[in-house]
Structure 1
Amino acid sequence: MIAIENILVSDQVVEEQFVCDLTKCKGGCCEDGDAGAPLEVEELAHLNNAYPFVKSYMTAEGIREIEKAGKYVYDQEFGWVTPTINSEICAYGYKDKQGIVKCAIEQAYNDGKITWKKPISCHLFPIRLKKSKHGDTEFVNYEPREDLCSAACKLGKKLKVPAYIFLKEAIIRKYGEEFFETLDATAKYMRESQIVTGKGRRR
């Protein structure tokens, strides 16, 4: 476990290798799960402001779900989340010609319509965040889905890209440049220590 102030980062975040392979998984994380994408409280306002611009990128089914359930819903286990269509694909998701799930929020961002890219939980995946009971500590865990993310794990190993490097933009967005630099320095120190002691990557 790597401790950076009150944030505890799992060793797997820097030791495991991961690169999304959308040609294989088809963006399945946007339609596979027990609920929609988790939203931080401050993201609710972002979603309210972004929706008029995001709507034109959404499917008719997605728009109907938003009109019925709201732009976000409360889940007893996960808190605020995006709505889903029939408990499957995120209401803000749509499929391109290759059958890959894309995000209407992110597309509006890429086209310069909004300044909020997408929920941070989506941007950070397969990293999952969890608060301690009293909320004074945050846990940063590496939690790829065993079957869905197997191609991403294989591609990461092939390209030798640690998960935290692949997620650099998202980590900086969430915690800032200084946090990432500290994490990167710690990861390099850990790798060098393992080389010196003759140990391979830990499991």
Structure 2
Amino acid sequence: MNKLLDFGRKALFYVRVLSGYEERRIRHYRLQLEQRVQQVQARKAAINKAPEKIILSEIRRMVEEMQNLNKKMEETEAAIEDYFKPLDKEAELIMKMQLQGEERTSEMMMKTLEKQASLQQLEAEKKAGMHKVDNSEANLNDSKLMDEEKALKEMLKELQKEVLLEKAGGEKSSDNVHQADKSHINLKPASTTTSK
């Protein structure tokens, strides 16, 4: 019986081979194997390309995150500027008020300095006028003294002449003494008039 089954299997196999069924089956099986090989190669290429895709996708994701962060930062900066605008205006007003106050104080200080300088100038002019008056008085006193010294020198010369003349002769000396007395009297009023 086993032999009969073996013979039947062999006969069926020959029929398949002769009819071409077995050949088609082998080709189909080969095509399936080739398709599986192609699929495996495609998967392998995809796996090889996967790191590049992963890297590119990560880079794109990071760029998008950075752009989102930049947008958020710009929005927050705009919000902060909007929030601080009234404070900046108040600070500007305060600064303007301070500057105006400083200008007022500086103007007041300049005015007081000008007043003080004018007062000092007036005092200096008064002192200079007093000094000039003192100098003129001193010059007048000096001129009086000089005139008196000249008059005294002239009187001494005249007295010396009289003494010499007295020795020389009696009458001539008496006339000279009177003349000397007259000249002495005439000299004193002349010196006082010049000093005045």
Fold match (TM-score > 0.5): no
Task: Give TM-score scaled by structure 2 length.
Answer: 0.17
**Larger C-alpha radius of gyration, 1 or 2?**
2
More helix per residue? 2
Higher RCO (Cα < 8 Å, 6 or more apart): 1
Task: Give TM-score scaled by structure 1 length.
Answer: 0.16
